[in-house]
Amino acid sequence: MGIKFSRKMDSFQTSIFNELSSYKKQKLQDGQEIIDLSVGSPDLPPPQFVMDELSTYAKDPLSYGYTLTGTAEFKTAVSHYYRENYGVKLSPTDETLMLMGSQDGLVHLPMVVTDPNDIILVPDPGYTAYAAGISLAEATPYPMPLKAENNFLPDLSIIPEEVCHKAKLMIINFPGNPVPAMATLDFFKEVVAFAQKYNILVLHDFAYCELYYDQKPISFLSVEGAKDVGIEFNSMSKSFNMAGCRIGFVVGNAEIISGLDRLKSNLDYGVFLPIQKAAIQALRNDSGFTTELRAIYKKRRDVFVNGLSEIGWQVSSPPASMFVWAEVPPGYTSKEFTYKLLDEAGVVVIPGNAFGTQGEGYVRVGIVQPEEVLQKAVNKIKESGILTR
């Protein structure tokens, strides 16, 4: 039988991530030692109290029914977390919504607020899920370049007036992936004013809010007027190492959240109750877990960045997230250098242009390995001689 896929599937081709994964497997089969710094998933476990809560409720026979949506207890925990951490007051009933991981909402939201061919302003480079959501909605992306000379913040003043009037949604992400930049209060105020002027909704992806090193990131919703124009997505995956649990949430504008809730009521039956119970403990527990987590990542960052500097690869030290956004040495494209690292040093990274055209000239490196492994990666890069050619 001949199977013909829909035209929509043309937007979902095999990605560089799959390509690199297959190439890495071949290298492993050939006996080469590989250090994988390409992934964006935590390598550490959740807090013990989170695992204990999950285990307790998983043993309860009454936990196995449909939850349909977030429990009132979960939504209250989310509003408590935002009030305590960012001074943002939220209605648990109307201004919070549970997700099956933040990517669930990120991919589905464009279908809620845009029609085919509507314009969505999107960061370039940006997280790949944004492109997937835009494709599903059959909307049109308009890239907002993130450049070093502008501290990797979009320059809203260069967006053409006709694009501003046609745009329905703006996506921003701070601290960012792949670029671990931080937004300023002035920038967020500019975004609110811009959104109000052109009647554009704002989606802020705040998944890395707890992974910062010196300065605490700003919640977009803490800015005056932000809740009138937008929403903020958050995740338990990075902040509490609960990536496999697939639970996150979105907060903010009640009308937007109501629309996403209506769509999701036709797509899934909620998150397993024990996982919700575990997430509630994470959101309400002031055990110092996130402080300890930041300390671990900061040590990793310093070992890796300082190590690269010592062998002649000068890269910027990220202020947040679990990534280093590293400029490739002269003479290489992003993809060429990625394969050079894999072939000759056995180190896997992601070429920057996998996240958008403005990512050319960079690679994304995940510091999701212990310090000794990161130091070993530095040593392998040095021994390969790549940086001295």
Mean pLDDT calculated for residue range 91-113: 97
pLDDT of residue 35 exceeding 80? yes
- Return the pLDDT at 8: 85
Q: Evaluate whether 38 touches 22 at the Cβ level (below 8 Å).
A: no
Q: Which tokens go with 137?
A: 């909605």
- Return the pLDDT at 43: 93
DSSP-assigned letters across all residues of 196-237: HHHT-EEEEE-TTTT-BSSSPPPPGGGSTTHHHHEEEEEEHH
pLDDT of residue 266 exceeding 70? yes
- Return the pLDDT at 148: 96
pLDDT of residue 109 exceeding 70? yes
pLDDT class of 33 with cuts at 50, 70, 90:
very high
CA distance 222 to 217: 11
Report which of residues 4 and 274 the model is more confident about. Answer: 274
- Return the pLDDT at 286: 74
pLDDT of residue 389 exceeding 80? no
Q: Evaluate whether 188 touches 220 at the Cβ level (below 8 Å).
A: yes
317-371 per-position pLDDT tens digit: 999 999 999 999 999 999 999 999 999 999 999 999 999 999 999 999 999 999 9
What's the one-letter identity of residue 1?
A: M
- Return the pLDDT at 14: 65
Domains present along the chain, CATH in parentheses: 10-39+289-384 (3.90.1150.10), 48-284 (3.40.640.10)
Q: Evaluate whether 320 touches 182 at the Cβ level (below 8 Å).
A: yes
**Where does residue 31 rank: exposed (0-12), middle (13-18), buried (19+ CB within 10 A)?**
exposed
CA distance 378 to 380: 5
pTM of the model: 0.96
CA distance 376 to 225: 48
Q: Which range, of 13-22, 51-60, 99-108, 226-235, averages the lowest pLDDT?
A: 13-22
What's the one-letter identity of residue 286?
A: D
DSSP-assigned letters across all residues of 79-101: HHHHHHHH-----TTTSEEEESS
Query: How far from the centroid of its chain's Cα atoms is residue 97's Cα?
Result: 18
Q: Evaluate whether 348 touches 25 at the Cβ level (below 8 Å).
A: no
**Where does residue 267 rank: exposed (0-12), middle (13-18), buried (19+ CB within 10 A)?**
exposed
